[in-house]
């Protein structure tokens, strides 16, 4: 089976991990701060806090922004569930924004309308989580302008967008947001096995996230309530978690980060090849907007059905039967049974249309052109006998 995504692990990656295994520190050693430092240099964010997953980074980001009971967090209906779950961890409510069918990102017009009606019923969001779907940036300037009018905070869920750019700058620099989060899951752009990062330019947010990452405990003298103690002393000042990244993971991340631009270039090359081979077919191909440079985490086409039977479902089954690991990213989060039970039936038209037509084709830096040609050939033939 050709997977939809796959990591690359080099001999150097393995050597770096083995070095840590032979060292004094498997965790809480030097590699985590080195990885954080390398990520700040790469993204130009002032602060980077490594954690054990993007999900943890989202949770801590929400806590640092004081999301709590009675508050609202809004996010895209088309994302991984973690983009919404972070609100529920904080006892807050989630509401979903419809997508733009062309970019698969939050539709800014839908957002603005929703903000207007929320102003009338007093349910404005405290946080909007903007998901850079497939590695293509949301319209951050417009979102930022809206955040100033309606007074909400912005978290960029850049799980797909490590190495992507918006208006010429790497995503993660937080020019138009309070916090950006990265994922280092193996299907994403670079990997630490499991892992994530929270980025911010705010010293106070960085301090809070760092504190909550490790039980709400601090040893830093300047922050202690009782400063007149010996070196063993630490204080717990908040209820935190153990969301730390290990040095084993950080060493892998540091080594992978050296090749991030190469991976993204390779993904762009494969993206261009797909576009070229499929350009005269009846599939709706993804469009890249001119204000951003996508990391192309996913290659998502749309397959419209003419009759009652779903062409997308038909193509999905045919390709799976040919050993091609096509996928669907994602079902609208509000359709997940947990969310239906919590909030009842919701219907957002573009998200529904997306759900009925989208198909993710395999795309990862180690994919061969032969495999890609085979995928395209099977895809093109799949509908001809339907
Ligand atoms: C993968 C992903 C996450 C969660 O990442 P983990 O590191 O696995 O916790 C969150 N949001 C989006 C959009 C993702 O794709």
pLDDT in tens, 293-320: 999 999 999 999 888 789 999 999 999 9
CA 325–ligand 1 middle distance (angstroms):
19
Closest CA to 100 of 356, 361, 348: 348
> If you compute the radius of gyration of the chain from its CA atoms, what whole number of angstroms results?
22
SS3 category, 243: coil
Whether 55 lines ligand 1, by a CB cut-off of 6 Å, is yes
SS3 category, 51: strand
* 347 to 63, 77, 240, 301: CA distances (angstroms): 29, 10, 36, 22
**Minimum-distance ligand 1 atom for the alpha carbon of 196:** 7
Q: Are strands 179-183 and 72-76 parallel, antiparallel or unpaired?
A: unpaired
Residue nearest atom 6 of ligand 1, based on CA coordinates = 54
Whether 53 lines ligand 1, by a CB cut-off of 6 Å, is yes
Whether 7 lines ligand 1, by a CB cut-off of 6 Å, is no
pLDDT digits (tens, 9 = 90+) for 154-203: 999 999 999 999 999 999 999 999 999 999 999 999 999 999 999 999 99
Question: Which residues are registered as beta bridge partners of 166?
Answer: 169, 292
pLDDT digits (tens, 9 = 90+) for 314-368: 999 999 999 999 999 999 999 999 999 999 999 999 999 999 999 999 999 999 9
Show the tokens assigned to 272.
Answer: 């261009």
Does the pLDDT value for residue 386 go beyond 70? no
Q: In angstroms, rounded to a whole number, what is the distance separating the alpha carbons of residues 172 and 39?
A: 9
% of the chain exceeding 90 in pLDDT = 94
CA 73–ligand 1 middle distance (angstroms):
17
Q: In angstroms, rounded to a whole number, what is the distance separating the alpha carbons of residues 50 and 181?
A: 10
Q: Please list, in sequence order, all residues whose beta carbon lies within 8 angstroms of the beta carbon of residue 11, skipping any fewer than 6 positions away.
A: none
Q: In angstroms, rounded to a whole number, what is the distance separating the alpha carbons of residues 355 and 328?
A: 8
Whether 191 lines ligand 1, by a CB cut-off of 6 Å, is no
pLDDT band at 231; cut points 50, 70, 90: confident
Give me the pLDDT at residue 214, please: 97
Q: In angstroms, rounded to a whole number, what is the distance separating the alpha carbons of residues 213 and 346?
A: 34
Question: Which residues are registered as beta bridge partners of 217?
Answer: 236
> In whole numbers, what is the pLDDT of the chain averaged over residues?
97
Closest CA to 110 of 100, 120, 102: 100
Does the pLDDT value for residue 273 go beyond 80? yes
CA 187–ligand 1 middle distance (angstroms):
10
Does the pLDDT value for residue 385 go beyond 70? no
Give me the pLDDT at residue 84, please: 98
Show the tokens assigned to 123.
Answer: 């349910």
CA 80–ligand 1 middle distance (angstroms):
6
Whether 79 lines ligand 1, by a CB cut-off of 6 Å, is yes
Q: Where are the beta strands (DSSP E) in the chain?
A: 47-51, 72-76, 93-97, 127-131, 153-157, 165-166, 169-170, 179-183, 196-200, 217-218, 235-236, 292-293, 299-302, 358-361
Of 51, 53, 62, 82, best ligand 1 pocket probe by most atoms within 8 Å of the beta carbon: 82
- The residue ranking higher by pLDDT, 56 or 223, is 56
Closest CA to 3 of 321, 361, 373, 355: 361
Give me the pLDDT at residue 46, please: 98
Residue nearest atom 2 of ligand 1, based on CA coordinates = 159
- Cα 357 off chain centre by: 22
Give me the pLDDT at residue 45, please: 98
Does the pLDDT value for residue 211 go beyond 90? yes
Does the pLDDT value for residue 206 go beyond 80? yes
Give me the pLDDT at residue 383, please: 84
């Amino acid at each position: 089976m050709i997977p939809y995504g796959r990591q690359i692990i080099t001999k150097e990656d393995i050597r770096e991990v083995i070095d840590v295994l032979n060292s004094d520190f498997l965790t809480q050693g030097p590699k985590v701060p080195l990885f954080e430092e390398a990520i700040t240099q790469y993204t130009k964010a002032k602060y980077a806090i490594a954690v054990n997953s993007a999900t943890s980074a989202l949770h801590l980001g929400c806590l640092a922004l004081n999301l709590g009971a009675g508050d609202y967090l809004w996010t895209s209906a088309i994302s991984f569930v973690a983009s919404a779950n972070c609100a529920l961890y904080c006892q807050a409510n989630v509401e979903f924004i419809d997508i733009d069918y062309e970019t698969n990102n939050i539709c800014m017009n839908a957002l603005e309308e929703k903000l207007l009606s929320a102003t009338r019923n007093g349910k404005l969001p405290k946080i909007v989580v903007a998901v850079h779907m497939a590695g293509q940036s949301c319209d951050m300037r417009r979102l930022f302008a809206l955040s100033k009018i309606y007074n909400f905070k912005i978290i960029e869920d850049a799980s797909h967008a490590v190495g992507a750019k918006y208006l010429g700058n790497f995503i993660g620099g937080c020019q138009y947001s309070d916090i950006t989060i990265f994922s280092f899951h193996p299907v994403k752009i670079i990997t630490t096995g499991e892992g994530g990062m929270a980025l911010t330019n705010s010293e106070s947010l960085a301090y809070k996230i760092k504190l909550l990452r490790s039980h709400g405990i601090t040893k830093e003298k300047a922050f202690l309530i009782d400063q007149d103690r010996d070196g063993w002393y630490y204080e717990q000042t908040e209820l935190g978690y153990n969301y730390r990244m290990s040095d084993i993971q950080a060493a892998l991340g540091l080594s992978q980060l050296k090749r991030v631009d190469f991976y993204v270039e390779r993904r762009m090359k494969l993206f261009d090849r797909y576009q070229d081979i499929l350009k005269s077919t009846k599939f709706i191909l993804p469009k890249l907007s001119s204000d951003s440079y996508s990391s192309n985490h996913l290659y998502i086409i749309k397959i419209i059905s003419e009759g009652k039977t779903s062409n997308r479902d038909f193509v999905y089954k045919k390709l799976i039967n040919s050993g091609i690991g096509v996928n669907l990213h994602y079902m609208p989060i509000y359709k997940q049974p947990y969310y239906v039970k919590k909030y009842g039936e919701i219907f957002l038209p573009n998200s529904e249309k997306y759900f009925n037509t989208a198909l993710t084709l395999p795309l990862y830096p180690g994919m061969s052109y032969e495999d890609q040609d085979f995928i395209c050939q099977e895809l093109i033939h799949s509908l001809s006998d339907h």
